[in-house]
Structure 1
Amino acid sequence: MDPIRVVLVDDHPVVRRGLRALLESLPGYTVVGEAADGVAAVREVQLTRPDVVLMDIRMPGQDGLEATRAIRTATPDVAVLMLTMLDEDDAVFAAMRAGARGYLLKGAEQQEIDRAIRAVAAGEAIFSPGVALRVISHFNGTAAAPAAPSEPFPELTVREREVLDLVAAGLRNAAIAERLFLSQKTVANHLSSIFAKLSVDGRHQAIIRARDEGLGRP
């Protein structure tokens, strides 16, 4: 069988090197590209046409969720497997909505990463054990009841909610960009998307809506 072609996307070079070494130590893999942010990831996927993209979520510039949406739109035959530190329901379901086929937590064992990549390459969906239990509970309607309120503004991405939270806290674009390791242009683009999704006319109305939902607090 042909080897599974993989693109590695993570803003930390050490993580990418570790993943490359891991995959190259296993039979049946070829790492065909790497990227350190979402924009570079989309470009690398279009150039190399891999079978699987191993994708981080939080990265400077375009994050992994936005990159996943772009990849699934442009190259729907490419499977995206999230590999992230974010063990949050909001991030898991945002990744699913973006088109990811799997969700693993960093720290997964070599055998688990190997199994997950092969699964998504074969068209299956796969999640880390703890994440899978929460996904099953959610779709079975048995998720632990209102112990934790749902995130406000579910129509926003994780990154957009982070930006809105900082706007509601009174930060200007330059400070938000510095805090989230983004360019000011990217922050402005996020704000335009936020205003459109919330149907508000601008920053002032967005702040009011955000504070009403509890964002912007220390």
Structure 2
Amino acid sequence: MESGEYNIEVEADGYVTKTETVTVGSDGATRKDFELEPVNAGTLSGSLVDENGDPVDSSSTRVDLDGDRSLMISPETNQEFEVDLQDDLWILEPEALGYEADREIVPVNEGETTELEVEMTSNDEGQVRIFIWVDEDDVPSTDITLENPTGDDYEISHTNGDAKLEVEVEEGSYIVEVQPDGYDTQVDAVEVEHGSSTTTNFSYT
């Protein structure tokens, strides 16, 4: 790296974040040791369950803490999580594809383990991931329709230029129609299951 002064910020779970200024010499190398102080930490141990007390059946789950920290949770861990947190009150917002739940305020005490079981309510939804590939840097404005012969239809105007769009819909069978400005309409059929994502690709390259 180039010589000069740099502010280095070091973060580690269970320790106070520390920032120090480091000077890099003309040889582009330097060494700096950081001694971190442990926070007054406790442990939050929790799980996400459905109305029957079983782990939520969802392919995408996470827990947001105070709106600025997210814990991604794997279905392979039975939707359980454990994290060391500073002694404080924490706002916990669980999110799981196909489920809903209210946020909770949870106390974490130094040297103790707070156990929490979060009950989530099924909303019968899954997700469609739509990828649109064109010979341009950005995807042009695109009209998207998801038609469900036995339920609600969804009409979307996709304008932010991204190639990927994620849409949460009720479980069921859908006909997906995609038409970017200046291109022909393409159609695909997808099956959406509760708590799961299905992917469909539309290529104009």
TM-score bracket for the superposition, by shorter chain length: under 0.3
What TM-score do you get using the length of structure 1 for normalisation?
Answer: 0.25
Highest relative contact order (Cα 8 Å, sep 6+), 1 or 2?
2
Which of 1 and 2 has greater Rg?
2
Structure with the higher helix share, 1 or 2: 1
- TM-score, with normalisation over the residues of structure 2? 0.26
* Larger relative strand fraction: 2
